[in-house]
Amino acid sequence: MYPGAKTLFYALSRSARLKRLASKYGMRSRESFARRFIAGETIDEAIDASRNIQAQGLHLTLDYLGESVRTVEEADAATREYVRLHDVIVRSGIERNISLKLTQLGVGIDRATCVDNLRRILEPAGRHDFFVRIDMEESAWTQMTLDIFETLWQQDYRNIGIALQASLYRTEQDVRRMNELGASVRLVKGAYKEPQDVAYRRKADVDAAFVRLMRLLLDSGNYPAIATHDPPMIEATQSHARQHGIGKERFEFEMLYGIRRDLQGTLASEGYQVRLYIPFGREWFPYFMRRLGERPANVGFVMRGILREQ
Ligand code: FDA
């Protein structure tokens, strides 16, 4: 993790010009640079990628890209797309597991709109036995996201889980609360640029927090997802599970589509549950920029892609 790079890519992710340029070249052909991280712009492409992934013995969660919508109409369109996604997934026979962001469903407009939209998605999800994971966004949304999650949980929606970020100081308390409820947590390091008064900045501090929280989740959580590509974090998880007799069926590793494919395959072949987060859709630019911010070496590969496309 590189705090400077995160800041730079966060700024670039807001550039309309760069977005236009990237959108023009990023997904144009099968070899285009954004396809390394994004399964495609259409549901059909995402289903194809999912089938491939399942054939490799991996699990999946599908994410229809989009975030920070500004109007009720945009939030409604995203909700309708998620509802449609249920039908397509059911027909295709792939695993029934989706991820979504509350700012895509209108939490930035008002809470009630967002909760209504989320319920519209959870209705077919419940009927068709889907699992729905709520991603965690910038810290400005953490409390609201958790409040909405708990409201739905108390209303007996039990096919839902949440993501929590090890980089935030508050997360230990949130992990304990989710463990108390019996809710499944996806533990991540945290992809957003955060102020120093809410989050650790140094990789060593984030990693130490990640290991602490991973142990809490493995010991007393409900089927946690340890979401990282970082080998020391993965080894710490394996070693804690071994030492405490926690079976491989009681947790899963999660990774992002296109990142550390070697590691995904190795872990699956060792009998671990490995789930890939498969993003698709036209609104891929902010997601893509976060992936560049995590590993600036990716920029070279993107630049070569752009030059090749011209
Ligand atoms: P770290 O960044 O330390 O990287 C460790 C190693 O992984 C690197 O050395 C490199 O080998 C590889 N790697 C990491 N990122 C890479 C990249 N972009 N390209 C190529 N190689 C890379 N965040 C969030 O705030 N809210 C959320 O809801 C989610 N959801 C989520 C789901 C899943 C399944 C995953 C795996 C991750 C998320 N994240 C997230 C993102 C997460 O917070 C974090 O930013 C990334 O996973 C990168 O952190 P690592 O744990 O991989 O470690």
What letter does residue 139 receive in the DSSP assignment? G
Q: Are residues 32 and 135 in the same domain?
A: no
pLDDT tens-place string over residues 61-71? 999 999 999 99
Among 60, 189, 299, name the best residue to mutate to test ligand 1's pocket (greatest count of ligand atoms within 8 A of Cβ): 189
Instruction: Determine whether the shortest distance from the Cβ of 255 to ligand 1 is under 6 A.
Output: yes
**32 and 181 belong to one structural domain:** no
For 97, 142, 144, 151, 161, the CA distances from 148, given in Å and listed in that order, are 20, 10, 6, 5, 12
Whether the per-residue pLDDT at 189 is higher than 80: the answer is: yes
Distance 295 CA to ligand 1 centre (A): 9
Provide mean pLDDT across the span 250-269. 96
Q: Indicate if 196 and 245 belong to the same structural domain.
A: yes
The predicted model gives 63-86 an average pLDDT of 96
Task: State pLDDT tens for residues 46-59.
Answer: 999 999 999 999 99
Set 35, 63, 133, 135: catalytic member? 135
Q: Are residues 275 and 292 in the same domain?
A: no
According to the model, what pLDDT value does residue 219 have?
Answer: 98
Tens digits of per-residue pLDDT, 9-18? 777 777 777 7
Q: Is the CB of 277 under 6 A from ligand 1?
A: yes
* Number of separate domains in the chain: 2
For residues 294 and 243, membership in a common domain is answered with no
Cβ–Cβ under 8 Å, residues 68 and 108: yes
Counting residues of the chain whose pLDDT is more than 90, the rounded percentage is: 80
**Are residues 58 and 173 located together in one domain of the fold?**
yes
Residues 242 and 305 in one domain: no
pLDDT of amino acid 304: 67
CATH of the domain at 180: 3.20.20.220
186 is a catalytic site residue: yes
Question: Same domain for 16 and 93?
Answer: no
Which of 157-171, 204-218, 277-291 is predicted least confidently?
A: 277-291
- 219 in the same domain as 296: no
Q: From residue 153, give the alpha-carbon distance in Å to each of 45, 62, 178.
A: 33, 22, 10
**Catalytically annotated residue among 186, 275, 290, 291:** 186
* Higher per-residue confidence, 288 vs 173: 173
Q: Are residues 167 and 293 in the same domain?
A: no
- Tell which atom from ligand 1 comes closest to the C-alpha of 133: 28
Same domain, 109 and 237: yes
Tell me the average pLDDT of the chain.
93
pLDDT (0 to 100) of residue 3: 62
Range of the domain at 4: 1-38+284-310
pTM over 0.75: yes
The residue type at 120? R
